Chain A
Amino acid sequence: MAATHEYRVCPDTGFKIDLQADKLIKWNAVTAIVFLLIGGFFGLMVALTRWPTVHLLPADWFYLALTAHGVDILLVWIIFFEMALLYFASSVLLQSRLPMPKVGWFAYWLMLVGALLGNVVILQGESSVMFTSYVPMKADPLFYVALLLFAVGALIVCFLFFATLVVAKSEKTYEGSLPLVTFGAMVAAIIAVYTIASGAVILIPTLLWSLGLISHIDSLMYKVIWWGMGHSSQQINVSAHVAVWYAGAAVVFGAKPISEKVCRMAFLLYILFLQLASAHHLLVEPGLSAEYKIFNTSYAFYLAVFGSMVHGLTVPGSIELAQRRRGYTKGLFEWLRKAPWGNPAFVGIFLSIIIFGFVGGISGVVLGTEQLNLIMHNTIYVPGHFHGTVAGGTTLAFMALCYWLVPVLFRREIWAPKLAQWFPWLFGLGITGIALFQMGAGTLGVSRRHWDMTFADAPLSYDYPAAAHLLMAANGVSAVIASIAGAIFCLQMVLTLLIGKKREGAVPVASDAAEGLTGHGHGAGLAVPGTFVLALVFLTSFVLYYFVNWKYLSEIWLLS
């Protein structure tokens, strides 16, 4: 389908942008933001219900809201935004035409219909099975249909991404290796293929079962295959937000990776090992061997964690290098002090790296250790951990990028830029609070996905320590802060599109942004002492926290 392709030249970056890709990026990103708003609203409802003295929703609405929160925010918001990223990283960064744009639109509509259908079915109240939809809980058949439509749409976009790589290569729109940001997006697309295949393998039989065509689905079999999707999709997010980190360093600082070789090898570790960690969701299942659990969650997974630590080192490292080249060379940290702390794109990405590493990353390794998992499994420690990864890490990185991407793509100034400066701090604070307070309450044994921690009308009750109630209240307060920040973000993005000032001047983009995004960095060495110190601080916290948990395990698990 060699339709004629029209282009526009981006005045900020000099990129030549295929108009169809341009439009698909805009529509996917804006749709994503709308669902972020819906999903965030449900998150607030859930958090206010889990705040013991507020206890907002009745039980059936609580589980409905929890299902909607998981589906809208974890699947719909994140994946729609990732589709925008895939188009950006392929067609725009490779300066290539987008092959088969009609297929891209078809995929968009499939995903949108799936997302809307999913919301309608969940709101009807017969599908409060949470986004994991564990059998034998049965949802309305249309619930599974909705998820499948959405997933097929996303799979099509992945193939379109690979097709664009092929077209760009054969039409020689770029030279040598793929730019690192595109490479990172490709890793996300690769993981997505396995993810969506796993989803189809389990959701199609589950659909048939909900229609009464299959009599039984084994619950352990369901969990094994479902988590091939459920966990791997988080690894799409990790790869995508790491690509966004590199993109952010490039557009704000004109930074290039300190070592292409090291960064790409770290991504290769993701491709090979990240998805195996799916087994950490099965650590307490009887019936699976210790060899299976430990191989997949420890030996293999630590290699992938190592990959993340490399990225956590090379992104700040590349920023430090770029800043030092601009003359900020005093002491260990002048490069950081003189960073643009008023720029929400930079601050958001910086906080995303910190929260992902210190909060989400460390707690993830602890949870993924078979023995330690016993202390926290199915407690609210688990949502605490993943709000550190997927909300503080992925979501904050994507939101931060929007403060750059939206003005560039739509040629408008961000509405109320002063407010924008507050956004990343407020959201970072709220999400960190959610993560830490949930982790704290989980350590005291509070369950996840539980309507009433006071057990008011339960035949068998249990008294949590007073501190647990306090922590859940603090979680509620943090949720309000994060929701205010989330609302600011959505409002700003929508108002920027509707009434933002048309822009004449350039956005705050490093003059060498395009070069940073698409060029290659080479062997500049490791002259980044500041980053090195930060890495040591991280490793120390990591080791301390890890061993504190072993100590804790030995105290509550008295075997002698």
Chain B
Amino acid sequence: MSELESGKSGGADEPVPFMQQILDNPFILLFLGVAAPSVLYTVWGVMEVISIPVAQ
């Protein structure tokens, strides 16, 4: 298994890549996971329902 461990080979001083920083932060992910569907699905959907004209 030792060759697998080599992923850590970059050493402690190698900066953590940007994407990994995001993926390592549960609260950024929580925000994204709630905000994206709230805007694109819920709010958009509710706006469409509200804008249906009422029958006279």
Contacts and interface: CB of A to CB of B under 8 A. Distances in A.
Interface in A255-295: 256, 260-261, 264-265, 268, 271-273, 275-276, 278-279, 282, 287-289, 292, 295
Contacts of A282: 45
B22 to A, nearest CB: 8
Contacts of A289: 48
Interface string A491-531: 00000000000000000000010010000111110000000
Contact of B26 (A165, A218, A522): A165
Interface residues of A, number: 49
A225 B46 contact: yes
Contact of A193 (B7, B23, B33): B33
Interface in B1-54: 1, 3-8, 19-20, 23-24, 26-27, 29-30, 32-34, 36-38, 40-42, 44-46, 48-49, 52
B46 to A, nearest CB: 6
Contacts of B6: 522
B13 to A, nearest CB: 15
Interface in A401-419: none
Given A162-B26, A177-B23, A287-B52, A194 B44 contact: no
B54 to A, nearest CB: 11
Contact of B41 (A187, A256, A279, A512): A279
A228 interface: yes
A271 B32 contact: yes
B36 A273 contact: yes
Interface size class of B (residues with CB under 8 A): 20 to 34
Nearest to A278: B41
Contact of B29 (A176, A190, A273, A512): A190
A524 B26 contact: no
Contacts, number: 104
A276 B43 CA distance: 11
Contact of B49 (A183, A288, A295, A520): A288
Given A193-B33, A194-B37, A521-B4, A287 B48 contact: yes
Nearest to A193: B34
B55 to A, nearest CB: 12
Which among B32, B33, B46 has the greatest number of chain A C-beta atoms within 10 A?
B33
A518 to B, nearest CB: 13
Given A162-B26, A522-B7, 7 more contacts: A165-B26, A177-B24, A190-B34, A194-B33, A256-B4, A296-B40, A523-B7
Interface of A: 162, 165, 176-178, 183, 186-187, 190-191, 193-194, 197-198, 218, 220-221, 224-225, 228, 232, 256, 260-261, 264-265, 268, 271-273, 275-276, 278-279, 282, 287-289, 292, 295-296, 300, 512, 515, 520-524
